[in-house]
Structure 1
Amino acid sequence: MEETAKPESKKTEDYTMGMGKVNLIAVLLAFPITAVILYPFVLVWGYETFKAGKEAFDDYFLLVLIAGILVHELLHGLTWGYFANNGFKSIRFGVKWKFLTPYCHCKEPLKVKHYKIGAAMPLIIMGIIPSIIGFVIGHGGVLAFGIFFTWAAGGDIIALFMLWKLDNNIYVSDHPDKMGFVLEFE
């Protein structure tokens, strides 16, 4: 009787974190994020300028929050969909209701460099750029927007740290249930 060779299975390594832990770390990141962005603004423009702008931001907070969540996840989806072989057919959106955490999931592997770009896009577009603009023009409301959406990218910042040392040209798969990704290798 001839022995059939078993197909070699790929080995995987999870780079994931539970949503509870991600949310806790993201909350802790809010303090240094705020300090790094707010302190220079207050030195240059004064706290009253920030306070006046933040009060205007607060007036529209619920609208900004809802629209911002949608745009944040859409930025992930548009970017990952651009790089995915099957395009936007590979993108899925949802909410982890237990943690009140919206998400965007790519159903196919992406190169690390493309995954990083998609992970960073909301942080850059909604957090860093508005923070810089708010600082340059001395507008506390724009700065508050940038700070808030930098906080909102806490999970993305964690994912970027997890991706940091990986080769940009290897493929990772977005984990379907946890925050993070799976590295497949032979």
Structure 2
Amino acid sequence: MANDKRKLTEKELKRKNDFETISSEMQQKGYKMKNVVINTQKAKYLALLVMFPFMALTFWLYNNVNGFNLDGISWGYVVALPLLILCLIIVHELIHGITWGLFAKKHFHSIDFGIIWSSFSPYCTCSEPLKKWQYLLGTAMPTLVLGGGSAVAAVMTNQLLIFLLAEYMIASGGGDFLIVLKGMLHHTDKKESVYCDHPYECGFVVFEK
């Protein structure tokens, strides 16, 4: 692995050491490794740009079907919205873990949850290499379920609170969709390839031969 540009946490160091063991085993089997990482500073802007069409579509559908009645907004919305967002952020990471865990050979023993305290961001990571479609599906699933599912529910029930939650969950899935986009754009002429979460950066590692 390249020299670290920042001090890694204890959990990140453990994942780094575990990953180096996996990497060594994969290379002994003839796989070559390629890092695909995302610059977190640029990702903040790119993520919103990527998700803007989906947010705009949700807005158009809700407005076209139901319109916006802002008279119903109360202090209950102000209290409920941040609490529900906090709950859904946790559920977001659980969906990552459940999806990847179903595909991993060691199942949930390969899943790790944590919080990046500097930005107070929860995360979920899978330490086991997966097939490309398995990894990308696990990456996209929370946004598909919580963002897309909430958008459909909002339009069908005419609930402004659910609409706001849907827009937030779509926007918050921008980083995941950047990774999905990176994965979809990564093409190889190799016969075999597997994808693994990067142990401490935003992105993934491809092993191919």
- TM-score, length basis structure 1: 0.83
Residue 99 of structure 1: SS of its match in structure 2? coil
- 1:175 alignment counterpart: 198
Is the counterpart of residue 22 in structure 1 residue 62 in structure 2?
no
CA distance in 2, matches of 1:57, 1:155: 27
Deviation for aligned residue 1:38: 0.6
Deviation for aligned residue 1:29: 4.1
Deviation for aligned residue 1:138: 1.9
- Alpha-carbon distance change, 111 to 57 in structure 1, aligned in 2, over 3 angstroms: farther
Residue 69 of structure 2: SS of its match in structure 1? helix
Identity of aligned residues (%): 29
- 1:60 alignment counterpart: 80
Residue 166 of structure 2: SS of its match in structure 1? helix
CA distance in 1, matches of 2:157, 2:199: 41
- 1:94 alignment counterpart: 114
Deviation for aligned residue 1:180: 1.4
Residue 109 of structure 1: SS of its match in structure 2? coil
- Alpha-carbon distance change, 20 to 99 in structure 1, aligned in 2, over 3 angstroms: farther
Residue 175 of structure 2: SS of its match in structure 1? helix
How much is the aligned-residue C-alpha RMSD, in angstroms? Answer: 2.4
Deviation for aligned residue 1:100: 3.2
**Stretches of 4+ moved more than 3 A in 1?**
7-10, 27-33, 51-58
Which residue of the other structure, out of 69, 79, 94, is the alignment partner of 1:74? Answer: 94
Deviation for aligned residue 1:139: 1.8
- Specify the code of the residue in structure 1 equivalent to 2:38: M
* 8 A contact 1:110–1:173 mirrored in 2: yes
Deviation for aligned residue 1:54: 9.1
- Render the CA deviation track for 1:85-141: whole Å, top value 9, x for unaligned: 111011111122333332111011011111112111111111001101111222222
Is the counterpart of residue 44 in structure 1 residue 65 in structure 2?
yes
- Render the CA deviation track for 1:17-48: whole Å, top value 9, x for unaligned: 13222223223445433322112211222222
* 8 A contact 1:57–1:145 mirrored in 2: no
- TM-score, length basis structure 2: 0.75
Deviation for aligned residue 1:55: 7.1
